[in-house]
Amino acid sequence: MPAVHIDPHRLTAQGYRMPAEWEPHRGTWLSYPHNPKSFFTKLKGAQEGFADIVAALAKVEEVHVNVCDEAMARALTLKLRRRAVRRNVFLHLFPTNDAWCRDHGAIFLKHRGSGRVVATDWIFNAWGGKYPSAKDNRIAKKMAAFLGVECFSFPWVMEGGSIDVNGAGVLLTTEACLLNKNRNPQLSKAQIEGLLKANLGVRKVLWLRDGIAGDDTNGHIDDIARFTDARTIVTVVEADKADDNYGILQENLADLKNFRDVNGKPFRIVELPMPRPVYYRKDERLPASYANFYIANGIVLVPVFNCPQDKVAIKILKGVFKDRRIVPIDCSAIIVGLGTCHCLSQQIPA
């Protein structure tokens, strides 16, 4: 591989870090589902599920939503009125290609000393050029401008759903995504790891291998394993040995048990079941996963899929998040777009 000159902003050295998701939020930023090529016949159902998410979040923090036009704003406002939501929601006429704000939105950092919040803007290429992304790729700067925070732009591809941090120096990701040649083929694993450490305030990068079946992101971490506190990782496992996910998730589980934090201590690993396989058509498996929960101020939004495993996952997550209320969100329509609660949302640190 030829030498690649990397000149990152080195935000870590300037005192910035990416806060953990459970740290206090000013609010959450989302993008309204509108693309029929993503949600097909389930678009209306996905929009109703989205309104449920906004309604739950508006009770605990600000909610900012990207909408493409005034008609879309009116449609969402009507849905929210039906849910008695009349405050804490701010609609922005920022057109998007799709709904996945976790990936096309700004990733926010916070200064360790002053508490100053800044935005980072990475190239979004729709998971390796799979879909149109020109509108989505402008969203991070628009978010930063509205919030009045400085925005640092990077000439490398990265999506928010590909990384998870524990707020104490550790970042979790997958080789299948960040090392995929459809992202940054000019960079080696060591160079990518160096960029993450130099700009997100982390000291250690932990690499899992692959993601779940049906995931068109090439293996985002937020469908398989998530930090729930600095020392705890929740990870999905598949009980059915004949399922396509069984071997992948067993490999990830074994790796997680061997991982260590920045002090050399093992993590507490909590296993979550996978839901019953969800399909749009008979041959189109969807990446349904309880790991795609979203942690907000005082609550955790948990995707559910109308199957027996829903109750099991909720019970486990109640035991993990003892200081937060678990809010189940019916994602049986949203998942047709290949994501759920976490994929839709991006936190704004307080």
Q: Residue 268's domain is classified under what CATH number?
A: 3.75.10.10
Q: Is residue 5 part of a domain?
A: no
Q: What is the mean pLDDT of residues 94-107?
A: 98
In terms of residue numbers, what domain contains 344?
16-349
| Inter-axis angle of helices 70-82 and 43-58, nearest 10 | 60
- Confidence class of residue 95 from pLDDT cuts 50, 70 and 90? very high
Q: Is residue 233 part of a domain?
A: yes
Backbone φ, ψ for residue 174 (5° rounding):
-130, 145
Q: Which two tokens stand for residue 295?
A: 């942690």
Q: What is the mean pLDDT of residues 301-328?
A: 98
Q: Is residue 171 part of a domain?
A: yes
**Is 175 in contact with 30 (CB distance < 8 Å)?**
no
Element (H, E) at 312: helix 309-320
Q: What is the pTM of this model?
A: 0.97
Residue 301: closest CA among 324, 270, 278, 320: 324
Q: Is residue 78 part of a domain?
A: yes
Q: Which pLDDT does position 1 carry in this prediction? A: 43
Q: What is the mean pLDDT of residues 57-84?
A: 98
Tell me the Ramachandran region of residue 338: left when phi exceeds 0, alpha when psi lies from -120 to 50, beta otherwise. Answer: left
Q: Is residue 1 part of a domain?
A: no
Given the residues 101, 331, 341, 343, select the one marked as catalytic.
343
Q: Which pLDDT does position 120 carry in this prediction? A: 98
Q: Which pLDDT does position 9 carry in this prediction? A: 87
Element (H, E) at 122: strand 117-123
- 164-190, pLDDT tens digit by residue? 999 999 999 999 999 999 999 999 999
Domain count, the chain: 1
What pairs with residue 207 in β-bridges?
173
Q: Which pLDDT does position 129 carry in this prediction? A: 98
- Confidence class of residue 113 from pLDDT cuts 50, 70 and 90? very high
Q: What is the mean pLDDT of residues 111-119?
A: 98
Q: Is residue 216 part of a domain?
A: yes
Which residues neighbour 308 within 8 Å (Cβ) at sequence distance 6 or greater? 276
Q: Over the chain, what is the mean pLDDT?
A: 97
Annotated catalytic residue 343: yes
Residue 100: closest CA among 145, 50, 154, 55: 50
Q: Indicate whether 2 pLDDT > 80.
A: no
Q: Is residue 8 part of a domain?
A: no
- 190-246, pLDDT tens digit by residue? 999 999 999 999 999 999 999 999 999 999 999 999 999 999 999 999 999 999 999
Q: Which pLDDT does position 281 carry in this prediction? A: 86
- 9-40, pLDDT tens digit by residue? 899 999 999 999 999 999 999 999 999 999 99
**Is 204 in contact with 262 (CB distance < 8 Å)?**
yes
Q: Which pLDDT does position 3 carry in this prediction? A: 54
Q: Which two tokens stand for residue 102?
A: 């976790």
Q: Is residue 50 part of a domain?
A: yes
